[in-house]
A = this chain, B = another copy of it.
């Protein structure tokens, strides 16, 4: 078994830096493929492929506008991600009682790995 299909999971979809960039760009409004490709310095087929993935996980929507296809953001799928990460908020705000112990331990003990 190789890595899970990127196409079935939002977490996987946004694991790709370029796809994250696409999403960010789309916050400014819809755009045709070619424009996205240019702005991100990738080839048109490259952009199309990433957009396909984003489309399949529902983070992006397409709208045919004549010869063009305008891609637009649908960020709702990012909410679960935000919430999941948020579930750890108290752990990074905490004084890290135990964590501090780890750190000290690591410092005085011989380096881990």
Interface residues, chain A, with chain B CB atoms under 8 Å away: 3-4, 6, 9, 11-12, 14-17, 20, 23-24, 27, 29-30, 55, 61-64, 72-76, 78-79, 81-82, 84-89, 91-92, 96, 98-99, 101-103, 105-106, 109, 112-113
Contact = CB atoms under 8 A, between A and B. Distances in A.
Contact of A72 (B12, B62, B88, B99): B99
A15 B64 CA distance: 31
29 contacts: A3-B3, A3-B6, A4-B16, A12-B15, A23-B88, A27-B91, A29-B98, A30-B98, A55-B113, A61-B99, A61-B102, A61-B106, A62-B102, A62-B112, A63-B101, A64-B105, A64-B109, A72-B98, A72-B102, A74-B96, A75-B88, A75-B89, A75-B91, A75-B92, A78-B85, A79-B85, A79-B92, A82-B86, A85-B85
B9 A15 contact: yes
Number of copies of this kind of chain in the complex: 2
A105 B63 contact: yes
